[in-house]
Amino acid sequence: MILNTGRGSNLKHPPLAFTEHGANMAATVLNSPRAMQMTVFVVRAFVKMRETLLVNAVLAREIAALKTRMDFLDTTTRRQFELVFEAILGLSGPPGGKN
């Protein structure tokens, strides 16, 4: 037997998470009320995740646009805005402050 190299090519690597599509497929196969409830839960989580990513992307673009217009500010005011921008980006990133 010859195994293909690479992640996901064979069953030697277990899946790390459900995808939205995978949750739908599992509910279809299991065909139980509980499986259907879990599918709805997972799909709602994916929708919320997409919304959050979109909001964060828009926020990052707006902050970048504001940063380009800070040239006319004095050094002290510019540094204060940079601290505010860093705080906003820190809050919008993943928990633990790792962006």
**Token pair of 75 as six digits:** 């050094």
pLDDT tens by residue, the chain, 99 residues: 565 666 656 566 666 666 777 777 777 787 788 878 888 888 888 888 888 888 888 888 888 888 888 878 888 888 888 888 888 877 766 665 444
**Token pair of 88 as six digits:** 């906003």
**Token pair of 16 as six digits:** 């790390």
On the 0-12 / 13-18 / 19+ scale of CB atoms within 10 A, 39 is: buried
Going from N- to C-terminal start, the domains of the chain cover 20-92
Say how far apart CA 49 and CA 64 lie, in whole Å.
Answer: 23
